[in-house]
């Protein structure tokens, strides 16, 4: 589908920035339909900060993060889907599961117009002359590989890495036991329109959801949209189990 670029405004700013309790900030690409642009979460620590997912990369994310924190930053890709990981390239320290490394290093998707160029998913352009058809997703090899049970230490807070395959083979979640905070990426979000989004592997997906459902969660920071409660997580898991059999 051809995008009428002449009808789209040039954005003055690409990201919104919203503060959450617990020294957490959500950044969102406000000129892309939120179903097609993942949430980015900045988590502050005393020694370093954590960026959970990195958006589409249409506008580099790292320079904005550098304006927000003086500390070193580790960017973690919870999966390799383009709307969660393609800002990965703009960070110096980058981590993912080994099963996602190849897809992040050499993205196969080369034409974003197939995804963002229909149904008014793109609401503005980041700069004059920008065309989805001309934009190639920059690949970036991880500088660190994460396995299930690894700990990400920010100084005053620690996150456990959980391997939760299903959406993609190397999907991850990050769990902070001290607060009950769970970052679930593409695996955990509540779509207000309840659209079908089949996982790559249904059995793995359901096993991962059941595992996450056993955690004493207080707040889930979703891969799209906003955060939600433990009760909403339980309902999400209940709705998803058996949905794609």
Long-range contacts of 172-176 (CB under 8 A, 24+ apart): 172/76, 172/78, 172/79, 172/96, 172/97, 172/146, 173/78, 173/212, 174/50, 174/52, 174/76, 174/78, 175/215
Nearest in space to 220 (alpha carbons), one of 177, 183, 174: 183
Which tokens go with 68?
């927000």
User: What SS3 class is residue 205?
Assistant: helix
**Alpha-carbon span 162 to 62, nearest angstrom:** 25
Q: What is the pLDDT of residue 1?
A: 57
Domains of the chain: 5-240 (3.60.15.10)
Separation of alpha carbons 116 and 99, rounded Å: 26
Per-residue pLDDT of the chain (245 residues; tens, 9 = 90+): 578 898 999 999 999 999 999 999 999 999 999 999 999 999 999 999 999 999 999 999 999 999 999 999 999 999 999 899 989 999 999 999 999 999 999 988 767 888 888 888 999 999 999 999 888 888 899 999 999 999 999 999 999 999 999 999 999 999 999 999 999 999 999 999 999 999 999 999 999 999 999 999 999 999 999 999 999 999 999 999 999 98
Tell me how many degrees the CA angle 134-139-140 measures, rounded to the nearest 5: 150
Query: Global pTM?
Result: 0.95
Dump the DSSP string for 93-157.
SEEE-GGGHHHHHS-----THHHHSSTT-B-SBSSTT--GGG--PPP---SEE--TT-EEE-SS-
- Tell me which long-range contacts 150-157 makes (C-beta under 8 A, separation of at least 24): 152/50, 152/74, 152/76, 152/95, 153/47, 154/43, 154/44, 154/45, 154/46, 154/47, 154/48, 154/49, 154/50, 155/45, 155/46, 155/47, 155/48, 156/45, 156/46, 156/47, 157/43, 157/45
Residues 6+ apart with CB under 8 A from 4: none
Helix axes 230-240, 202-213, angle to 10 degrees: 150
CA dihedral 106, 110, 115, 119 (to 10 degrees): 160
Structure-token pair, residue 117: 């160029």
- Predicted confidence at residue 65, as pLDDT, reads 97
């Amino acid at each position: 589908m051809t995008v009428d670029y002449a009808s789209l405004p040039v954005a003055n700013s690409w990201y919104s920035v919203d503060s959450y309790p617990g020294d957490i900030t959500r950044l969102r690409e406000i000129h892309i339909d939120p179903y097609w642009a993942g949430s980015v979460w900045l988590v502050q620590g005393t020694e370093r900060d954590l960026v959970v997912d990195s958006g589409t990369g249409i506008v580099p994310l790292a320079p904005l993060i550098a304006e927000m924190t003086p500390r070193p930053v580790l960017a973690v890709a919870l999966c390799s889907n383009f709307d969660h990981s393609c800002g990965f390239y703009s960070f110096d320290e980058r981590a993912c599961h080994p099963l996602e490394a190849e897809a992040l290093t050499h993205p196969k998707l080369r034409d974003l117009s197939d995804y963002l160029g229909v149904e008014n998913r793109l609401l503005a352009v980041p700069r004059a002359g920008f065309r989805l058809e001309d934009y190639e997703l920059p690949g970036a090899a991880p500088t660190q590989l994460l396995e299930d049970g690894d700990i990400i230490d920010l100084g005053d807070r620690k996150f456990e890495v959980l391997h939760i395959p299903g959406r993609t083979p190397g999907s991850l979640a990050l769990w902070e036991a001290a607060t009950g905070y769970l970052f679930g990426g593409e695996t955990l979000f509540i779509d207000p329109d309840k659209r079908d989004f089949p996982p790559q592997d249904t059995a793995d997906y359901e096993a991962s959801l059941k595992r996450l459902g056993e955690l004493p969660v207080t707040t889930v920071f979703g891969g799209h949209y906003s955060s939600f409660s433990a009760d909403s997580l339980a309902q999400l898991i209940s709705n998803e189990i058996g949905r794609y059999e």
